[in-house]
Structure 1
Amino acid sequence: MKENYECIKSQITDRTKIIAVTKYHTVEETLEAYEAGIRDFGENRTEGFLEKRKALPDDANLHYIGTLQSRKVKHIIDDLYYLHSLDRESIAKKIEQYSDHIVKCFIQVNVSGEESKHGLTPDQVPDFLERLSTYSKVEIIGLMTMAPATDDATLIAEVFDRMAQLRETLQQSNSDNLNISELSMGMSNDYQIAAEKGATYVRIGSKIMESR
């Protein structure tokens, strides 16, 4: 696992943080990843999120990377500091209702336009940002997207390019001075392309944790 992590680190720049996706892995395997030097972990189920948070040392950052149901926000809010899938105001309302701290959020954007993917269209993001500006416990720090499941590197690069361009447009036109600087994009099959296009977080499962 340590060799996997070090290999990936050598292939991307220091500006890109690696999130080890542990959703299919045990607490023991997650702790092994921590011992390998990883400090950012991603979970997409509330049960797994709570289990891994309880087991990991305090200096580990746990990111919720899956679709979060409104009714489950209150169950994880005490440990929720990074949310990569905000695309509904109902989630922001629950964070505001239950949280006693600020949650750093990425707006999920469906840049590829695939019906199978969650997220806002790029055109919907400015209005969504404006509505979220009234929530004191929701801090928008960036955007998140997933590229199509394809071997076409050109197509993947185009999707990540559009994401980076959207971030730049939002930063330039943002009247509320929000610092939308982060880009969460890229997984095990396309993280190098994502890093080249400006990803500040890549979410990697099998290439670090290995397949189960």
Structure 2
Amino acid sequence: MTGIKENLQKIKSSLPEHVTLVAVSKTKPVSDLQEAYDAGQRVFGENKIQEMVTKYDELPKDIQWHMIGHLQRNKVKYMAHFVHLIHGVDSFKTLQEIDKQAKKHNRVINCLLQARIAKEDTKFGLPFNKIEEILASDELKELKNIKIVGLMGMATFTENQEQLQDEFSSLASFFNKNQEKYPNLTTLSMGMSGDYELAIENGSNMVRIGSSIFGVRNYIA
């Protein structure tokens, strides 16, 4: 059985230079993250704020922490002093809360707007027209402590490559169109362990990979 270091090296060697690897470490013990850190990984993604806070306290401080799960506004305050990038922003109210909490720490927090591209009902995210409304709004200009740096999308959990291709390419094309208007949009976060290669082919420059690095996830009741 290959270890975390070997898995990381294999994945990193397969990624183009311009693609950022977010090691999705949710439910994994600190020892696993430390092993990945020792192998050179510095970007980690968590989907629960409390778990990320605990790991932040225990691990080296040069780690970039990405919040990749659905965001509860009332918990933003717990990570506002250190989070590097928030992936799943799907409402203007959430942006306002992030801005409010970032201001308390004299920080500007980078955010990705989550686009809804999957055909499943369980996925969060904004339709494209709502994203355009937010990007063009005067209210956004008033938020000085957040910066929208890109978009994120989660494809349908399916083996159907044509469907995945359609979902990824639709978001990539929308991203490219808006990048011309908003130069701050530099990050397109698409692709996980099962579909990241196709996501990269479609323009993703940030992939969120967990099980292919750390092994099958342990879900604790």
TM-score > 0.5, shorter chain as reference: yes
| Range of TM-score over shorter length | over 0.9
Correspondent of 2:199 among 187, 194, 198: 194
Q: Which of residues 98, 103, 115 in structure 1 aligns to 2:101?
A: 98
Contact 2:99 2:146 (8 Å CA) reproduced = yes
**Structure 1: unaligned runs, 5 residues or longer:** none
Q: CA offsets, 1:163-186, max 9 Å, x none? A: 1101111122x2xx4421211110
What CA distance in whole angstroms lies between the structure 2 residues aligned with 1:164 and 1:73? 28
Partner of 1:148: 156
Match for 1:193: what amino acid? L
Alignment partners' CA distance in 1, 2:40 and 2:28: 17
State the TM-score, normalized to the length of structure 1: 0.94
Amino acid in the other structure paired with 2:57: K
Residue of structure 1 aligned with 2:118, choices 112, 121, 125: 112
SS at match of 1:118: coil
CA distance in 2, matches of 1:58, 1:74: 19
Deviation string 1:32-74 (CA, Å, 9 cap, x unpaired) is: 1111111100001011110121122122111000111111111
How far is the alpha carbon of 1:128 from its aligned partner?
A: 1.4
Aligned counterparts of 1:201 and 1:171: Cα–Cα separation in 2: 16
SS of equivalent to 2:170? helix
Aligned residues: 209
Q: Could you tell me which of 47, 65, 72 is aligned with 1:62?
A: 65
Instruction: Note the 1:175-186 alignment, pairs <5 A.
Output: 177-186=182-191
1:106–1:144 Cα contact (<8 Å) kept: yes
Cα displacement string for residues 127-149 of structure 1 (whole angstroms, at most 9, x for unaligned residues): 01123232111101110001111
Partner residue, 2:174:
166
Residues 88-132 of structure 1 deviation map (CA, whole Å, 9 limit, x = unaligned): 112111122221201111100002343211000112111011232
Quick check: 1:164–1:198 contact (8 Å CA) kept in 2? yes
What's 2:146 paired with?
138
Alpha carbon RMSD of aligned pairs, Å? Answer: 1.3
Q: Where has structure 1 moved over 3 Å in runs of 4 or more?
A: none
Query: Which runs of no fewer than 5 residues in structure 2 stay unpaired?
Result: none
Q: CA deviation at 1:152?
A: 1.3
Aligned-residue identity in percent = 34
